[in-house]
């Protein structure tokens, strides 16, 4: 991985060839790497506010962490190939950060929208969910909380490989200037985040649960229109929590959401097998400390007899000539890169 410091390096190394999308904090476009035989890359431009004494220290820490993670080359985490700063004028109090990632063909949101009726088969859902949790377990094992897991931040290659994107950038965004007024979707946020309480890695498990349900429904599971409405949607499914579970620092009093009764998940999601409903329930617990961890989820009975999706295995074998052709099973692939 290189780490360039001037805009001329970016201009010389990459040729922009197409717009991908714009989020609250950055614009993403497809580019061609002119140094590495024209391979396609995705470049995210982020405007970062500067302190009086220069680059925010949080930015330096996060970049260092992202660079360290790249050494693992985890199969379910998108590769960060390059990080560049644009040169700025003396009077400007911001810089443009260029994050160069491997280019992946589509995100999970587009993948689901293009999926023909009746939707994904149970084996494909299991395969996608296992890969997501494998990536989350890797991040959590390295003390990284994603904080914004959603279908748009989960990428899928044409061969079926799932990769988590936009991780480790949360603190960078805190030092960034918003480019748009778009509100980050509420649909995958854990209740403790919506309530303004302290949170940790458990928020990612809640997001995984919402995505898990969406893989079966092909539409958002909890689609609130505001933070209070999102909380109502949540409690209408899991029921009202007890007063003892309610965070002391919550924005809203506990009695604001009293009286909700839990609905069995198999009623809301009749297409989910019993083991899947059991895992989903363990992910969507109000008390974050009672939620299943990513590592525990990977060993859940739902994944018994799990085998990697065949196209992924064939893709790996074609790129690793020395790899054995023995069938790759769950026990042989879980927790990759978490040493």
Task: Give yes or no for a contact between 86 and 95, defined as CB atoms under 8 angstroms apart.
Answer: yes
DSSP letter for 53, please: T
Task: Give yes or no for a contact between 133 and 283, defined as CB atoms under 8 angstroms apart.
Answer: no
Rounded Cα distance, 235 and 256, in Å: 11
- What the block records as the tokens of 106 is 């589509």
Q: Which residue shows structure tokens 């379910």?
A: 76
53 noted as active-site residue: no
Residue 182 φ then ψ, to 5°: -65, 130
CA 104 from chain centre, in angstroms, equals 14
Dihedral angle sign, alpha carbons of residues 225, 186, 297, 214: positive
**Residue of 45, 20, 38, 39 whose CA lies nearest to 30:** 20
Task: Give yes or no for a contact between 170 and 25, defined as CB atoms under 8 angstroms apart.
Answer: no
Helices (H), 57-105: 57-70
- What the block records as the tokens of 302 is 């739902």
DSSP E strands in the chain: the ranges are 2-4, 14-22, 26-33, 39-49, 80-85, 94-102, 106-107, 154-156, 162-164
Secondary structure of residue 97 in the 3-state scheme: strand
H or E segment at 165?
none
- Catalytic-labelled residue, pool 137, 148, 175, 204: 148
Residues taking part in catalysis: 148
């Amino acid at each position: 991985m290189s780490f360039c410091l001037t805009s001329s390096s970016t201009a010389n190394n990459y040729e922009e060839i197409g717009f991908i999308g714009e989020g609250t904090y950055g614009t993403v476009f497809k580019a061609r790497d002119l140094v590495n035989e024209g391979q396609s890359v995705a470049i995210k431009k982020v405007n970062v506010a500067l302190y009086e004494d220069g680059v925010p220290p949080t930015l330096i820490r996060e970049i260092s962490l992202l660079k360290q993670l790249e050494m693992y080359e985890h199969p379910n985490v998108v590769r960060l190939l390059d990080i560049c700063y644009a040169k700025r004028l003396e009077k400007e109090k911001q810089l443009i950060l260029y994050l160069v990632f491997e280019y992946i063909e589509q995100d999970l949101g587009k993948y689901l929208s293009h999926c023909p009726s009746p939707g994904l088969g149970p084996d494909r859902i299991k395969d996608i969910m296992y890969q997501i949790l494998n990536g989350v377990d890797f991040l959590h094992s390295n003390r990284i909380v994603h904080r914004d897991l959603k279908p748009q931040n989960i990428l899928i290659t044409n061969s079926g490989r799932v990769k988590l994107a936009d991780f480790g950038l949360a603190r960078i965004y805190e030092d960034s200037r918003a480019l748009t007024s778009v509100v980050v979707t509420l649909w995958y946020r854990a209740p403790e985040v919506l309530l303004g309480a302290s949170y940790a890695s458990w928020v990612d498990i809640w997001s995984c649960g919402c995505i898990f349900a969406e893989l079966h429904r092909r539409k958002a599971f909890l689609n609130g229109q505001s933070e209070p409405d999102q909380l109502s949607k949540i409690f209408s499914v899991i029921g009202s929590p007890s007063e003892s579970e309610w965070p002391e620092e919550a924005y809203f009093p506990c009695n604001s959401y009293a009286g909700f009764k839990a609905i069995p998940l198999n009623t809301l999601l009749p297409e989910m097998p019993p083991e899947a409903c059991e895992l989903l329930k363990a992910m969507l617990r109000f008390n974050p400390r009672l939620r299943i961890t990513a590592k525990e989820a990977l060993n859940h009975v739902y994944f018994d007899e799990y085998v990697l999706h065949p196209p992924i295995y064939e893709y790996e074998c074609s790129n690793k000539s020395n790899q054995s052709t023995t069938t790759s099973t769950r026990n042989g692939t879980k927790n990759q890169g978490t040493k």
